[in-house]
Structure 1
Amino acid sequence: MAKRGREHEGSDIEHQAKRIKPLKVERLLSLSDELILRVLSYLPVPDLLVCQRLSHKYHGLAGDGQLWKAHYYNRFVRPRASKLPGLKDVGAPTGTLHFASRASKWLQDEHLVEKDARTNWKQQYKLRHNWSRGTCVAEEIQVADEAPVPPILVQLHNGVIYMADQVDGLRAWSAKADRRMLAQTNLPSSASRQPPTSLAIDSKEDDQDITRIAIGFESGSFSIYAFQHADGLLAHQYTQPSSSNGVISSISLAWPYAVTMTATQILSLYHFQDMAQEKNSNVQLAPPRLLHSLKSHTVWPPLSTSLRTSSTNLVISIAYALPTYLSGWTVGIQEVKIFLNGELDESRMASAIDEHYRPLAFSTRPMMHHLTRPVIGSLATSTATELRHIHSKPTSLSYTHPYLLVSQLDNTLTLYLVTSTSESLSISAGSRLWGHTSSVSGAHVGGRGKAVSVSRRGDELRVWELEGGFASAAARKRLATGDLSVQIRSDSRQSHIAEENSQAGLDLVNRNTSGATLDEKEDMAELTLTRGWIGFDEENVVVLKEQSQGKQALVIYDFT
């Protein structure tokens, strides 16, 4: 019993020792929430994330939207002023931009600070950080058991992936977390025997409830569909009869206008009866009025058409590969301006040929003073093969004003800047972009100069920041050092992710970016070819890939 007493006595002493705690004064607890927020506003992102782990109170305070809004502005908005000539001096005598809630100060991010916008600033910061690091999670969607001819057509718009092919018709998939098929409909019977050759989404976006889709066919006809977002329905609204003009190689839609380009280089502009007030997507449209039909003799694929409307006129832009006499290939662009009443205003053209351009057929080495002098004895020494690649036919072309991006056979891309004013149209000299280690099969450029490119084997994707071109010294330095792009990594190791997170202070934000599972990696290893199509929005990159057995799949790279 004595022994038990000693054990009991010892346990009481130990229990009392555990209850004794040193006296600590938490001075921040005596402050109001407003003062604590003021203190937290001086912390960098790594310390702010640590504060969120202290308690429930600090988790809410350190996650305050205004704190993350300021960090977002300082990291992703303000540095853009140095890339855009003239913007850094607007309203700031010191040459800097200060944090402001006015939408005009957010440089095309104004939709985040609009009056009715409900922006999760921490999530938005995480999203942009993942883009800057190329960190994402990949997921595969099987879309075809056999390779259709021609391949499946794909477009990504506002979080919805639209696909069209002869077998499964028109489909709409969600690019969000659920990754489910939203709607499906067959192609019209009159065009079912002819495969679709081009796909376009309405770029005007006046109606947020309905998205209109245009599909061009091999027979020269095209169809208009409407996707009702609330009901998840795809409705057929109109099909143009077949034409003898040839295959529709490109189509653009800015409601109520549609533009088609055929393989025989015929450009046609149609005007539909404006039914903007009609919310019923099942309403059949009346046949459109053909406003103009123009014939070209210089437009060659790859090409890109776009249609922009304003209060006074509409502008049709065609960017294309341009053959030159004994000189290989370059790029050109044509703009056709038309008044809203249908009257033709003007048509003008421009090409990227400058005074330094020389034919490759000369017996001696062409004079190219605009190219960097080769270093003797290094890999930079120019050869006949390299010179042919410089002026070879582009493998892909993407144009979103003012950026014109083409890919070449020598694993590089070339960026051109298009200048369009009321008096003139011009294309700048091309700037070569290095980064890919294999052949580039496709590239897509967005309005802010963000671009994504993919290799033919689909194993290398790169994100490019091309905003502002290369007119400034800082931009030329980034071009020379190769800091313009970052490779997308969807299966990074945990150790590498931890290193990236520690550098940027997002070890808690990017918790779920370990990539695909082992089974998913084995399946993705079979994806050996890309058909050249790649698209992206604010959250995802979507690539169409083909397996060795002929199966086709969409791979979605999620940056959220």
Structure 2
Amino acid sequence: MAVKRQLEDLGDVAPRKRPRQSNRDHIGDLSDELWLRIFSHLSVSTLCTCERVSRRFSAIAGDSQIWKEHYYNRFVRPRAARLPGVKDAQSNGHLYFSSKLSKWLDEDSLVKRGRETNWRKQYKLRHNWTRGNCDISEIHVAEQPPIPPLLVRLQDGVLFTVDSIGGLRAWSAKKERRLLTAIPLNCRNSSPPTSLTVDAQGENGDQRVVVGFQDGHFSIYDLDRSNDAPTFRHSYSHAPSTNGMLTAVAYASPYLLTMTAGQLLSLYVFEQPSKDSTAEIRSPPRLLYSLKSHTVHPPLSLSVRPSSTTILASIAYALPTYFSGWSVGVQELKLSLSGELIDSRLATSSNESRRTLASSLPASLSPTRPGSPSVGSQSDSGPEADTSRTQPTSLSYNHPYLLLSHPDNTLTLFLVTSTSTSLSISPGSRLWGHTSSVSGAYVGGRGKAVSVSSHGDELRIWELEGGLNSLSMRKRLSAGQLSVRVQSSQKSSELQEQNLDVLSDAIAQRGSGLGLAMASRVDELSITRGWVGFDEENVVVLREKSNGGQALVVYDFT
């Protein structure tokens, strides 16, 4: 009885059996729609982490609509908020992006019907631009530098190069970096090419190139990309000009603007061929208007902006001013579609009114340059301190932005205002950031610009949108976010070898002073020709190597 009692007592305190654990994955039972809802509230960094968990998470976290909202929140809404009424429309937190706003923001290509945008890829692309992250590769285009120098243009992922040796060539700026096609030039009396432009109105399937020559004539070539193997087709050649070589050309189909060494500005129009016409050779263009000048100095930039009712042909050029260095001028021709001159306007910006971008900032926000007083200080705010007494190295005009580069490590930004009744240029604002002479600069849409140093080892991306006196511009300036530097992790062996040659030659000439010898050798061995251009994915710089060969350096931000 005692033993039975003990067993009963033990039974009273015996632990219960543990419930068997279920191997069921409750998280996996959630539908993709629920996970999509959860992921839509995550930050970009957390979203990228979730993509590495599993294939399912990678597919859900890469949903285009999630990245579309992140793209708008970071890159579109801050810019669209400056438009009247947009901030109120977005106060409810819903995604709001109309076609009208997209056109104003130059984002209409992302919302075209029939085109599926990869918003994750687009976000990564814009993020890399803001951080300066890119891959660098080279395209060798010439063994020896041609005379005149090689001319380059970039449009829609295609690099167009022309010179007297290799002729007109088209290179792919995409990942493969290969030669697409080439055609020898139809040079009259061995006249070399001196200017190059690509049709601003062209599309990917039909790109038209205009080449100007030393004897004043120009030729038009069409790049046919309808087949697997693209080909050039010669379309038209114009007669030579008695006013000298063509120094610049601009083409926005069907209007062509040319500038000769004799300072003759001419605007042509090509008659549109009928739909039933099968002729490949174009008829001669009709001269709409020509203007003779005696004050235009290089560097200069031509542009043609056609609209539904008028044509605006403009030329922006460097302008020397006595006792105060260099300034800029803009000449606009406003014509009707029939070629009748409506108005001719001229505007200049005087150096005396030039100011620094931070001259009106409080002392607490004014940035400083190494080894120099504050930008907004009294010793650096006078007109003499902001005047470049040397001729600008390059000029780029993409309305309304006009950008000059200088050999004193700076750039100057102007805003051009063109209305139906007036034309004006704002006082220039000096931009600092480079640590050596700036050989070339190019300004594109949305106020984005790229500049390169004379030795190609310093490339900077500028975000100039917002106006010279806007609060956002001042904040970015004070925080040092107005530009970002893009550079390779290590210099190429050719560049290192060239730097050693420069140093050894300068030491050999130290009798006249090491500093002067270094300066003269650096000028002689400049490895860039001053040309720089970019599109949505790439920045391209023309570089000359120590052995005399030339290459296109492609900075890929994809």
Interval of TM-score (by shorter of Structure 1 and Structure 2): 0.7 to 0.9
> Partner residue of 1:424?
422
Tell me: CA distance 1:197–1:98, structure 2 relative to 1, closer, same or farther (3 Å): farther
Is the aligned partner of 1:268 residue 2:270?
Answer: no
> Partner residue of 1:226?
222
TM-aligned CA deviation for residue 177 of structure 1: 0.9
Q: What amino acid is the match of 1:176? A: K
Query: 1-side partners of 2:288 and 2:127: how far apart?
Result: 46
Q: Residue deviations 1:191-250, cap 9 Å, x none?
A: 6x1111110000112x54211111111111111111111231111111112111012111
TM-aligned CA deviation for residue 160 of structure 1: 0.3
TM-score, with structure 2 as normaliser: 0.83
Q: 1:299 aligns with which of 283, 296, 299?
A: 296
Q: 1:322 aligns with which of 314, 319, 323?
A: 319
Matches within 5 A, 1:192-211: 193-205=190-202, 208-211=204-207
> Partner residue of 1:366?
none
TM-score, with structure 1 as normaliser: 0.83
Q: What amino acid is the match of 2:211? A: I
Query: 2-side partners of 1:257 and 1:278: how far apart?
Result: 22
TM-aligned CA deviation for residue 410 of structure 1: 1.3
Q: 2:127 aligns with which of 126, 129, 144?
A: 129
SS in structure 2 of the partner of residue 317 of structure 1: strand
Query: 1-side partners of 2:496 and 2:114: how far apart?
Result: 44
Is the aligned partner of 1:212 residue 2:208?
Answer: yes
> Partner residue of 1:332?
329
> Partner residue of 1:242?
240
Figure out how many residues of one structure are paired with residues of the other and give that number. 498
Query: Percent of aligned positions with the same letter in both sequences?
Result: 52
TM-aligned CA deviation for residue 481 of structure 1: 3.6
Query: 2-side partners of 1:201 and 1:295: how far apart?
Result: 25
Query: 2-side partners of 1:397 and 1:159: how far apart?
Result: 23
Query: 1-side partners of 2:169 and 2:263: how far apart?
Result: 29
Query: 2-side partners of 1:91 and 1:46: how far apart?
Result: 27
User: Contact between 1:201 and 1:211, CA under 8 Å: does it hold in 2?
Assistant: yes
Matches within 5 A, 1:160-175: 160-175=158-173
TM-aligned CA deviation for residue 384 of structure 1: 11
Is the aligned partner of 1:349 residue 2:346?
Answer: yes
Tell me: CA distance 1:534–1:279, structure 2 relative to 1, closer, same or farther (3 Å): farther
> Partner residue of 2:445?
447
User: Contact between 2:166 and 2:184, CA under 8 Å: does it hold in 1?
Assistant: yes
Which has the larger Rg?
A: 2
Query: 1-side partners of 2:137 and 2:276: how far apart?
Result: 37
Query: 2-side partners of 1:198 and 1:467: how far apart?
Result: 29
- 5+ residue gaps, structure 1, are 1-20, 359-368, 493-519
TM-aligned CA deviation for residue 483 of structure 1: 1.3
SS in structure 2 of the partner of residue 87 of structure 1: coil
Q: Residue deviations 1:46-83, cap 9 Å, x none?
A: 1111212222221111111111111111111112235x
TM-aligned CA deviation for residue 284 of structure 1: 1.1
User: Contact between 2:361 and 2:474, CA under 8 Å: does it hold in 1?
Assistant: no
> Partner residue of 1:55?
54
Tell me: CA distance 1:259–1:356, structure 2 relative to 1, closer, same or farther (3 Å): closer
User: Contact between 2:89 and 2:96, CA under 8 Å: does it hold in 1?
Assistant: no
Tell me: CA distance 1:472–1:387, structure 2 relative to 1, closer, same or farther (3 Å): closer
Tell me: CA distance 1:481–1:61, structure 2 relative to 1, closer, same or farther (3 Å): closer
Is the aligned partner of 1:176 residue 2:174?
Answer: yes
Is the aligned partner of 1:159 residue 2:130?
Answer: no
Query: 2-side partners of 1:467 and 1:188: how far apart?
Result: 42
User: Contact between 1:102 and 1:113, CA under 8 Å: does it hold in 2?
Assistant: no
Q: What amino acid is the match of 2:485? A: Q
Q: 2:487 aligns with which of 470, 479, 489?
A: 489
- 5+ residue gaps, structure 2, are 1-19, 374-378, 499-525
TM-aligned CA deviation for residue 326 of structure 1: 2.9
User: Contact between 1:399 and 1:445, CA under 8 Å: does it hold in 2?
Assistant: yes
Q: 1:87 aligns with which of 78, 83, 90?
A: 83
TM-aligned CA deviation for residue 463 of structure 1: 0.5
Query: 2-side partners of 1:451 and 1:97: how far apart?
Result: 32
Tell me: CA distance 1:105–1:310, structure 2 relative to 1, closer, same or farther (3 Å): closer
Q: Residue deviations 1:135-159, cap 9 Å, x none?
A: 1111111111111111100000000
Q: What amino acid is the match of 2:284? A: P
Moved more, 50-59 or 419-428: 50-59
> Partner residue of 2:283?
286
User: Contact between 1:490 and 1:557, CA under 8 Å: does it hold in 2?
Assistant: no
Is the aligned partner of 1:477 residue 2:475?
Answer: yes
User: Contact between 1:88 and 1:96, CA under 8 Å: does it hold in 2?
Assistant: no
Is the aligned partner of 1:311 residue 2:282?
Answer: no
TM-aligned CA deviation for residue 357 of structure 1: 6.5
User: Contact between 1:226 and 1:235, CA under 8 Å: does it hold in 2?
Assistant: yes
TM-aligned CA deviation for residue 89 of structure 1: 3.7
Query: 1-side partners of 2:384 and 2:313: how far apart?
Result: 35
Moved more, 130-139 or 266-275: 266-275
Query: 1-side partners of 2:531 and 2:275: how far apart?
Result: 34
Tell me: CA distance 1:370–1:323, structure 2 relative to 1, closer, same or farther (3 Å): farther
Query: 2-side partners of 1:433 and 1:458: how far apart?
Result: 19
SS in structure 2 of the partner of residue 28 of structure 1: helix
Q: 1:379 aligns with which of 372, 376, 382?
A: 372
Q: Residue deviations 1:503-545, cap 9 Å, x none?
A: xxxxxxxxxxxxxxxxx93245467511010000001011100
SS in structure 2 of the partner of residue 179 of structure 1: coil
> Partner residue of 2:529?
531
Q: What amino acid is the match of 2:407? A: L
Tell me: CA distance 1:129–1:378, structure 2 relative to 1, closer, same or farther (3 Å): closer
Query: 2-side partners of 1:104 and 1:272: how far apart?
Result: 31
Q: Residue deviations 1:165-197, cap 9 Å, x none?
A: 001110000001111111100111426x11111
User: Contact between 1:72 and 1:125, CA under 8 Å: does it hold in 2?
Assistant: yes
User: Contact between 1:81 and 1:97, CA under 8 Å: does it hold in 2?
Assistant: no
After superposition, the CA RMSD in angstroms is 2.9
Q: Residue deviations 1:97-150, cap 9 Å, x none?
A: 852353334422122122211111111111111111111111111111111111
Is the aligned partner of 1:148 residue 2:146?
Answer: yes
Query: 1-side partners of 2:53 and 2:231: how far apart?
Result: 48
Is the aligned partner of 1:522 residue 2:493?
Answer: yes
User: Contact between 1:330 and 1:353, CA under 8 Å: does it hold in 2?
Assistant: yes
> Partner residue of 1:185?
183
Q: What amino acid is the match of 1:52? A: E
User: Contact between 1:273 and 1:288, CA under 8 Å: does it hold in 2?
Assistant: yes
User: Contact between 2:247 and 2:261, CA under 8 Å: does it hold in 1?
Assistant: yes
